[in-house]
Structure 1
Amino acid sequence: MSEQSVWAGWKLTPPIQASTDGEASRSYQRAREKYKELSLALNQLEARVPGAMEGRLGLDFPDRAISDAFESLHTITSPQKLRQQHNFLVKGLERGSRVLDWQVSIPSPMVMLPRKSPQVTTDSFSQLHSWDTAVNSHDQLLPPTNLNPNELKKWLAGRFLVQLIREGALLNKEWLKQVPNAVVDGIAFEQNIAYLTLKKDLQAEKSGSKKTTTQAKADLDMSPDDALEHEQQYQYRRLFLSPMSQLLLLAYYQQCGRTWPTSDSAEACLLYYAKRLSRELAKTKLTALLSVAKTSASLEMSPLLTHYASQADASLSLQPSAWHRLVSQQIVSVATDKVSEDEKDTQPAFEVFPERHGDYPDQLKQLRQLQACFSASSSRKIGKSKALTNVDSFLANLNSTNKCSTCGF
C-alpha cells in the first residue's frame, strides 16, 4: 500500500522510530504492528470498493461490499484485534459519509461489555459452610433468659433481621437500614398477606442529614395535595413476610411493642445477634454477611429474585396513595373531614370511585380526533391558527355532549 495514497480521514499514518533505546524500540514495534493490522483491514475495504482508501468523492458503497469487507476481518485477524480493526473502519466510513458525501450503510461499532461477576464464585462458595452452620443454629435458637430487657429487645430485633436475610427477602444494606422505621409503622395486610412498607428518604440521601425528614414532617400541611407531594420525598419497597418472619415479628411486638431499640440501628442489632449466634460470624462485617447470604440465596432462588432483593433501586414499589388506589379501588378525596386524628399525619383521605351514570363515548377515538387537530398543516404560521380552530371545533363538539374525559372537563 502506498502511504501517500491514503486519505487523511482514515487517520492512518506510519509510525516513526525516534530513538533506538529499549523502551522506544518496543513502542515502535507495537505501533508498527498496529499500523499493519489497520492497513490490512483498509485493504479489505479497498479491494471491494476501489477509491475508498484514497478518499474519492461521492463513492457509493454497496451493502454487500460492506458486509463482505467486515466479514473478512473475522477470518484474517485474531479475536483480540477484531474490535480494533472493526471500529477503525467504522470511524473512517463515518468521516467519509460526513466529509466526502459517501453513500454507505455504516455498521455499528463493536463494543465490549464488562463481564458481570457471577453470583457464586469459588471464594464465596467456600464461605457457605459457616453460613449454613449459623442458619441451623438460628432455626433452633430460643430467646436467652440471662439478658436484661434492653439487650433482649436488641436480640429479638436482630433475630428478625437475620430471618429476612436468611430467606433471601432482603439482601441490600440500604433497604435494611429502613426496617426499624417500618417496624415502628407497623405491619399491614392485603388479602391476608402480611407486609412491611420500607421507605427511603431521598432528601436525606442528597443532604446527608436526617434533619430534612423531620422538617418535612413538621411543615406538612395535610391537604390531599400536600400529602401526595410528601410521598414524592421517598422511595418505597413493600417487604412481604413469610410465615416464619411473621411469627418472629409477632414475638417481637408482644415483647417490645411497636418500638425499636433506642439508639440502635438495624446493623447494630443484626451484628449483636450474629455474634451470639455463631463464633464464625462474631467478626463478620455486614457487607460480608450480606454477600454470603446472597450466594446462598442464589442457589435456591431465581436470579431475578436474587437481583431484586440485593439491589437498592430494582423495581421500586408504588407510593402509598397509588397502592391504596390499586388494592381498594378508592381515589384521593378533596374532603379532609373524613380523616381521623390518628391518620391525618400520615395519609390523605380517600373515597370510593364515583359511580358512572349513562354511556360514555370511546375515549381512544376522541384522543385520535384531538391528535388530528394538531396535524392539519405543516406550515408554522398557518398551522398554528388552523390547529387552534380545529381544537375549538373539537371542544365545542364535546361540550355539546358534556362528556369530555379525554380533556379532563
Structure 2
Amino acid sequence: MFCLDDCNLSENCCKLLASALSSTSSQLTDLDLSDNTLRDSGVKLLSDGLRSPQCKLKSLRLHKCKVQGGCCEALALALNTESTQLRVLDLSANVLQEEGVMALSLGLCGHHCKVDTLSYHSILIPQFLSPGLHTCYHFQLITCLPPSLVHTPTPSVYLLTRWTTCLLNQCKLGESCCAALASIFKSGSSQLKILDLSLNNLKDAGVALLVAGLTSPNCKLQILRLSWCGLTQKSCSYISSTLSTDFCQHCKLETLNLQKCCADIALVLNTNNAHLKELDLSGNDIEDLEVELLSNGIANPNCTLETLRLSLCSITVKGCSHVASALSSNPSHMRLLELSYNYLQDSGVNLISVQCINPLCKLEHLSVDHNEECYLKSTLKNSTDRCTFSVGVCCYVCDLQQ
C-alpha cells in the first residue's frame, strides 16, 4: 500500500505515478492520493497508467482531490480496460457534475470493469449509475442519498434493490421513506444486506412501516442500524415482536444497532428462529436494570449472539454480575464483549473475567476500563492463548458529533 494522502501533491506528480504504474516491475496494488489537489488534469494523466497492461492496482482513493468531472471519460476508459484489476474506487468529496457521472457510469457498465466498491457522495449518482448496477449484483455503492430519492416509491428507489450496502445515515430522512424501503426488502430482486439509517428522524411510525418488510422470504438484510432515529420503547417492541414470530423464520438479520430496548431484544434472543449475531447498544443510558433484562435473553440456550457492545452504557458492578451470570449459563457463542467506559470497578471486571476460565467459554475479546488491567491479567493467565483483552482504549468508535 502506498499512502500519499494530504502530502500537498498536485497534478504535476501524476505523470510520474502513471509511469510507475506502467512499469513492468510495478507491484503496487493500493494507492491513496486523498486530500491532494490533483484536479481533472492530474487524474487524466493517472488514468494513462491505469490503462497499462502492467498496472496491478486494485484500490485507488481520490477523496477530496478537487476533481470536477472532466477526467471521468478518461477514468471510465481505464476502468473498462481488459487488463484492469481495479476493484475499489473512492471519489468521495469531489463534485463530478452530471456529465462526469454519466461518463463514469459507462465505464462501470463495461464488460471488463471489475470495480465492486465505489465511494461517492452525490445527488446524481443513483440516477446515472443504474445501468451498471443492474449488471453487477455485488456492487457496493457507498453514497449519501438525497431524501427525495428514498421518498419516491418509483422508479428511482428501486435502484437500491441492486446494492448490497446502502449507507443512508444523516440524510434528513423521515418516516415517509420507510414504506418504500420495506418494499425493497420484499422485492425478489433485492440484494440489500447492509442498511444504515442512523441519525434520521424516522420515529416509531417509520419503524412500524420498516419492519413489515423483514418478514418477507425475499429479505436478505443482515445488518440494520437505527441509532439516533428518535425511537422509543414502542419501536423496539415492533422489531422484537416481528423477529420473534414464526412469520420471520426467513429473516437473516444478524446485526442490530438500536437504542434503549433490552426487554424487547431479550424476547428476540429467546426465540428458536433468531439469527441475531451482533448487538450494539453502546452510547445509550441503559443502566443495570436493562442489562439484567438483556442478560436473561443471552442466558437462553436459543441465543446465538456472538458480539455484544455495551460501551458508555452507565453499567455498574451490579450489571456485571448479570452479564457474568448469562455467560456462565450460555458460554458457547459469545466471542466479543465490549464494556469500556462504564462504572465497572475492579470487582465488576473480576466477575466477568472469571467466566473466561470456563472451558466452554468461547470469549476471544473482552474490552473494559483501564483501571481493571490487573484483574484481567491475573484471571486470564490460564487462557491467554484464546482470549485477548483491550484496556485503556475503547474499541468502539464514537461519533463526536452525536
TM-score range, shorter chain: under 0.3
TM-score, normalised on structure 2? 0.20
TM-score, normalised on structure 1? 0.20
Q: Which has the higher contact order (CA 8 A, sep 6+)?
A: 1
Q: Which has the higher helix share?
A: 1
Higher alpha-carbon Rg: 1
